[in-house]
Amino acid sequence: MFVALLLGYFLGSLPIAYWFGALRGRNLLQEGSGNSGALNAYRVLGPVPGFMVLLLDFFKGILAVALGEGMGGSPLGGLAGGVGAVWGHSFSPWLLFQGGKGLAAGAGVLFAVDPRLLFLSLLLFATLFALFRRPYRVALAVALAQPFLASFLHPAPAYLLFGLGLGLPVALRHLKDWHR
């Protein structure tokens, strides 16, 4: 499982948005929100590169789960690989431990682990956003809800840890935007 976690971290740490910006002579860490993620790529580079980054980050999460399951020989390896991917995306060593907020990669992980987890997360996001209209706070709340959502669908300790491991980096990356 540890190897799956490391492989997921490495895969997740590949800074796709940053590379898209560099190809256009732009540094996403110094423009827009300063994040190396799909939303900032959209804002700075435009809709087509932003959408491409979103898809690639999403598939990065799916691939990390698939490779983790293959390496670990069980779904637990996939959980570890997925958690590693979100941590790697959020705190990339290639970007001096900066990165994206982990939403696209995390969505890919949730989809690969159990599409119902992604559906519940999106439903919770939509509900809270309709009530409060504060996207960064809502994203933080949904990240913190991941252990509960995962445990609700899969009442095994591994899924509680998975939810914690997945939600924590996303929550940490959203804390700085609490005022928004």
pLDDT of residue 178: 67
Weakly modelled stretches of the chain, pLDDT under 50 = none
| pLDDT tens column, 102-132 | 999 999 999 999 999 999 999 999 999 999 9
Do the beta carbons of residue 138 and residue 129 sit within 8 Å?
yes
What's the confidence (pLDDT) of residue 57? 98
Residues 6+ apart with CB under 8 A from 56: 16
| Residue-level pLDDT at 22 | 96
On whether the CB atoms of residues 105 and 60 are closer than 8 A, the answer is yes
User: What's residue 176's pLDDT?
Assistant: 78
pLDDT of 18 reads 97
CA–CA distances in Å: residue 116 to residues 4, 97, 150, 154: 23, 31, 9, 11
Alpha-carbon span 61 to 163, nearest angstrom: 14
pLDDT score, position 72? 72
What backbone torsions phi and psi does residue 92 show, to the nearest 5 degrees? -80, 125
pLDDT of residue 174: 84
The domain segmentation of the chain, as residue ranges, is: 2-175
Contacts of 49 (CB under 8 A, 6+ apart): 20, 24, 41, 42
Instruction: Please report the pLDDT score of residue 117 as a whole number.
Output: 98
Tokens of 150: 């995962």
